[in-house]
Structure 1
Amino acid sequence: MLERKYGDRLEWKRVVKRKYAQSYLDTKDFRGYITLIHTIKVTEPLSVRYGENDICIVNDGYMWLQQFPLEKKHSVTTMFDANGNIVQWYIDICLENGLDRNIPWMDDLFLDIVLLPSEEVFLKDDDELEVAVVKGIIDKSLYNLAWDEANNLIKLIHNRNFELLNLSIEHKEILVNQLK
C-alpha cells in the first residue's frame, strides 16, 4: 500500500506554530492544487546533507509550497527560507494527486529528486523503491512508472524545461495573501 501524503502536513510535530493556505488553479501553465505552510515556530531546525553541504530546510519563518498537478505523476515542494530565498525543490514521484476532505494529497511512489538552486540534482530513496518492489508493496509496472517519471523529470531539469519549477515563486505569492 502506498503512503498518502497530505498538503497540510498536520502530522508534522516539529512545527508548533504555523499558517496554512491552499488553492485550486486552472491556468494555461498549471492545473491542480497548491498549498503553502508558513512555519512560524519549530521545535528545532532541520538540515539535510547533500554532498559536502548541510542545507537547512526547516526553521522559524520558512515556507513550504507544494504543487499537486492533476493527471501528473509527481508533486513538487519548494522550500523557502525566512528571507524568501529558495532552499531546494523536492520532487516526489507519485502514482497520482488528488483531493480528500478538501485537502490535496499525493500517493508516494518512494523515488524522489532534489534540485538545489546551484542546479545540483540528487536522486533519493531509490533503495526504498527497490525494497517496495521486492516486498510486493508495489508491482513491476509501478516500479517502472516511478523510474520512467524520474528519468523524464531529470532530463527536463537538465534541459531547463521543467516548467513547474518556474511557477514556484508565482504560486507562493498567490497563497501568501491567504495565510491564516
Structure 2
Amino acid sequence: MVGRITLIYKRIPNRILRREDEVIADLGDLIVARSEFSGMLAPLKVNGVEVINNGYKMVYFAFIGKDFDVLKIYDRKGTFKGLYIDVLDYTRRSGNTIEMLDLFLDIFIFPSGEYFLLDEDELEMALNYGLISREKFLKAYRTAERIISEIEGGKFPPKVVWEYSL
C-alpha cells in the first residue's frame, strides 16, 4: 500500500465531498485509489440496471490536469458492474490532496461496451438557474462528446484502467 490520499470533490453550487482513500498507485500525474460508496439515498440505475449502491466498491483513476475521471465499479460481491466517468472542469493535485470540480454530465459504460450519457437534465438545470456559465455548459458537452467519440473508436478508457482492480 502506498498510503492515503484526500479527495475533495466539488459539485456546483456548494456541495463538497471530502474523504480519505487508500492509494493503490501514485504515478504522479495519475492517482489510482480504492473507496466504497456510502450515504446514497437511492441506488443509481442505468437502463434499468442497478450499477451503484451503498456498499459497492470502486477503484478510481484521478488523471491530474484532465477533464474526466474513471471509476471501476464493483458490487458487494466484487462483480465488475462497469465504468463510471465524471465529466470535470479540472483535476488538481497538491501533495496528498486531489481536487476535482464536477460538471454534472457522466457516462456509464457497461462491461458489454454499451454506454449511456447521464445527467443532461442536471446540467441543463444548472445553466437555467445561473449556477454555471454557458461556457462551462458547452465545455461539459464538448468533453462528453470527445469521450464518447473515443469510446466508439476503441480509444477509451485509457489502457491503465485495465491494469488495476480491487
**Which of the five TM-score ranges fits, normalised by the shorter chain?**
0.7 to 0.9
Alignment match, 1:50: 46
Counterpart CA distance in 2 for 1:58 and 1:115 is: 16
Long gaps (5+) in structure 1: 11-19
Long gaps (5+) in structure 2: 1-11
Query: Per-residue deviation at 1:169?
Result: 3.7
TM value normalised by structure 1? 0.71
What do the CA deviations read for 1:39-95 (whole angstroms, capped 9, x no partner)? Answer: 7xx799x743322x42343465x4301111112111111102355442111111011
Identical aligned residues as a percent: 25
Counterpart CA distance in 2 for 1:25 and 1:101 is: 13
State yes or no: 1:168 paired with 2:161. Answer: yes
Give yes or no for contact 2:51–2:82 (8 Å, CA) kept in 1.
Answer: no
Residues 38, 129 of structure 1: alpha-carbon distance in 2 compared, 3 angstrom cutoff: closer
Give yes or no for contact 1:111–1:126 (8 Å, CA) kept in 2.
Answer: yes
State yes or no: 1:129 paired with 2:127. Answer: no
Q: Look up the equivalent residue of 2:160 and give its one-letter code.
A: L
Give yes or no for contact 1:3–1:107 (8 Å, CA) kept in 2.
Answer: no
State yes or no: 1:139 paired with 2:139. Answer: no
RMSD (Å), alpha carbons: 2.9
Counterpart CA distance in 2 for 1:55 and 1:32 is: 28
Q: Look up the equivalent residue of 1:32 and give its one-letter code.
A: L
Give yes or no for contact 1:80–1:87 (8 Å, CA) kept in 2.
Answer: yes
Give yes or no for contact 1:5–1:105 (8 Å, CA) kept in 2.
Answer: no
Alignment match, 2:27: 25
* Structure with greater contact order relative to length (CA < 8 Å, sep ≥ 6): 1
Alignment match, 2:71: 77
TM value normalised by structure 2? 0.76
The aligned runs of 1:71-110 (5 Å cut-off) are 71-82=65-76, 84-99=78-93, 102-110=96-104
How many correspondences in the alignment? Answer: 154
